Amino acid sequence: MSFVSRSGRGLPLLTAAVLGLLAGDAFAARISRLTPPSELFASGEESPVIARFLPGQRFDLQMTIEPDPGRTIVSFDFIVDDQSTLRPFWVDGELIHDPRATLTSTITETGPAATCIAASGRTTGASGCTLVAGLAGNATVISRRAYSNSRAGVHTLRAIARQDDGTTITATGNFEIVGIDAESGQVAKNIVIFLGDGMGAAHRTAARIVSRGYAQGKAKGLLAMDTFPNTGMVMTASLNSIVTDSAPGMQNYVTGNKANNNEEGVWPDDTRDAFDNPRYEYLSEYLHNLQGKSLGVVTTADVFDATPASMAIHTSARGNGTGIVDQFFDDRDQSGLAVLLGGGRKWFLPNPSDSTSPQPVNGSQRRKSNDYVLGDDIVNGWGVARGALDPERDLIAEFRDAGFRYAADKSGLDAAFNAGTPDKLLGLFSYSNMNVAYDKIAGRRGDTAVVDAFGFPDQPMLDEMTDAALKVLSKNPNGFVALIEGASIDKQAHLMDTDRWTLEVIELDRAIAVAKRFAERNPDTLVLVTADHECSGAAIIGAATVSAATLEADPDAGKGVVGIYEAARFPKYTMAEDGYPETTHVDGKMLIGYGANADRYETWLPSRFPTRDTQQPFPPSQSPANPSVRNEGAGYLVTGQVPGDQAAHTATDIPLSAYGRGAHHFNGVFDNTDVFFKIGQIAVGGAD
């Protein structure tokens, strides 16, 4: 928010009018937000903390101007290194940036109370012109869409706006283009990212204890992810908090930039529209554009959920399911989307009445209120679909018409390969989040009560989905980017359902083994295993000192049965042929404490039904409403320190393990945004 450059470079000429305002006018016109975010703009510090991009990676420039009372903005520019970004700019014959829209620095239209102006000189559309509360009525938001720069190094960004009285308002920020070393060996053609949502070190250890067992103080075997040769620790903070949610937790890895909590593929702005925020390009979009790679998204969650959406979707509202799934489809030519597998059918089924009350019988939760229409500046600048408010849309039919084979269940997923491996694949195996491994495996073993109650008795396991996805994606000779998410490690850790999240980690690890075998056959593949953040502050506190039968007989026993230190010994589970424990209800079972916990009644017993998932259009009545009532009247009360009735995410660093081409780049302690630039180097420049 500087009128005066603190760095001494890019110093704007100060007009007499501006100096007059600086001399004491409390309502001095100012640029109150400059995007990309920079510490130079925010605090004046030329800090190493800076927005970074790969060469040619597109991103939006945006300023919010609060003019003097009664004044309007008549012209503007975004200046990078003393060059206007509103005109094409060459250095030594190289096109440094290329405006993809018709640009003019003259404002030709303004909105009613507040003004949102695209750099194309047009308003960003009715919905985009509503500013957040607290800004001056004549505040103006100006965007320069889809800018890119291919010159490595730190660049100064100066925003300039001129009022109708001639006053010039400026602000200075900066950003960095991270160069790619083109001389460093062979590239990774395929990038596979396993994201164990909420999976901290404790979750990994717990899955190892249960599935491999310990004896004489040593693990009797390793998880597939334990066998990866390189492991680092990742800092997971978002743009606005040390504690991230899953949206920035994922998108930071695949954009190189920090998002605010609940936002994906965008920076915060001052308009209310959740789909008009300043964007930046995803890894999928960048590598599809540059190399023709495909994108695969595989999750056990609803496919609109924060992690899968954070591979390709641009919105500041992670809950806007209708718009999110529409954008997956409508902008598939941007991302290269070829595989989409998970839950979330409720967003793909038509809802012509735009109603969710009563719940449509087909389960649809499509709504106008969480859909979008984009303004001209985004459509023209980025070359993306405009969108429409269309709850009546039959998106499964549209995917099919576009060449995707569709699978509704495990049998359908198998059948999709009967006539050969499809080129594109859509699988929607439940209305919202899929059932967890604990309940899917119970169903396969003959206890179908839970999967029947959800209405989806034939759901695939994540390793089966991974196998199908890799077969389809590997048909592209240019390679692919794949996200494979074990989503309910997080969801069940929030619910403090130890038995369920432990099996979720085992399910994820079985999928990792599938990808590791793929990478052994295809050495031009990089496989990463990580998490977006830790969830629940899970800690392996010990093991029960009593038998399973005793726990059942006395579910109020509580603290008295928690064996710590040597009393924990080595919990023993028996693994079945299907790769999962015969039961988690064993004598001397492993016990988990939660450091970010809400109140719960603890019995240390498995819960017959999963705790309520509010995303389900038809949640089964047998599910307990939340952890605080789950065992009420049976267990002992463990009081938590966080508000609400679920455990929360934590800011603890999480492990990242790497296998394959370029894996050695992932040692040490690094930021989640660093992962993007490591991948960029390995996929584009190569890894020595």
Between 97 and 318, name the residue whose CB sits nearer to Zn ion: 318
Closest distance of CB 559 from Zn ion, Å: 27
Q: For helices 283-291 and 246-255, what crossing angle results, to 10°?
A: 30
3-class secondary-structure state, position 649: strand
Q: What is the dihedral of CA 218, 221, 224, 230, to 10 degrees?
A: 40
Sign of CA dihedral 146, 293, 186, 51: positive
CB of 603 to Zn ion, least distance (A): 24
Residue 113: which region, alpha, beta or left (left: phi > 0; alpha: psi -120 to 50)? Answer: alpha
| Smallest distance, Zn ion to C-beta of residue 523, A | 34
Q: Which is nearer to Zn ion, 115 or 492 (CB)?
A: 492
Residues 615 and 630: their CA atoms lie apart, in Å, by 18
> Smallest distance from the beta carbon of 652 to Zn ion, in angstroms?
14
Strands (E), 348-489: 405-407, 425-428, 480-486
Name, in order, each residue with C-beta under 8 angstroms of 21's C-beta and a sequence gap of 6 or more: 28, 29, 68, 167
Beta pairing, strands 140-147 & 59-66: antiparallel
Decide if 258 contacts 127 (C-beta within 8 A): no
**DSSP3 helix / strand / coil % (the chain, rounded to 5):** 25, 25, 50
C-beta closer to Zn ion: residue 111 or 200: 200
For the CB of residue 197, give the shortest distance to Zn ion in the complex, in Å.
6
Q: How far apart are CA 572 and CA 258, in angstroms?
A: 42
Shorter beta-carbon distance to Zn ion: residue 338 or 489: 489
User: In the complex with Zn ion, which residue's Cβ is closer, 174 or 433?
Assistant: 433
Nearer to Zn ion by C-beta: 331 or 490? 490
Q: Measured from the CB atom, is 120 or 307 closer to Zn ion?
A: 307
- CA pair distance 688, 681, nearest whole angstrom: 10
Cα–Cα dist 428/172, whole Å:
47
Residue nearest to Zn ion (CB): 490
Q: Which of 381, 640 has the CB closer to Zn ion?
A: 640
Per-residue HEC secondary structure of 155-176 comes to EEEEEEEEECCCCEEEEEEEEE
Shortest distance, CB of residue 174 to Zn ion, whole angstroms?
Answer: 33
Closest CB 438 distance from Zn ion, rounded Å? 18
CA atoms within 13 A on the CB side of 377: 31
8 A C-beta contact, residue 600 and residue 611: no
- For residues 232 and 528, give the distance between their C-alpha atoms in angstroms, rounded to a whole number: 11
**Site for Zn ion, rule CB under 5 A:** 490
Taking the complex as a whole, how short is the minimal distance between the CB of residue 454 and Zn ion, in angstroms? Answer: 20
d(CA 540, CA 205) in angstroms, rounded, equals 8
Closer by beta carbon to Zn ion, 204 or else 367: 204
Q: Tell me the closest approach of the beta carbon of residue 494 to Zn ion, in angstroms.
A: 6
Least distance in angstroms from the C-beta of 610 to Zn ion: 15
CA 590 to chain centre: 31
CB of 490 to Zn ion, least distance (A): 4
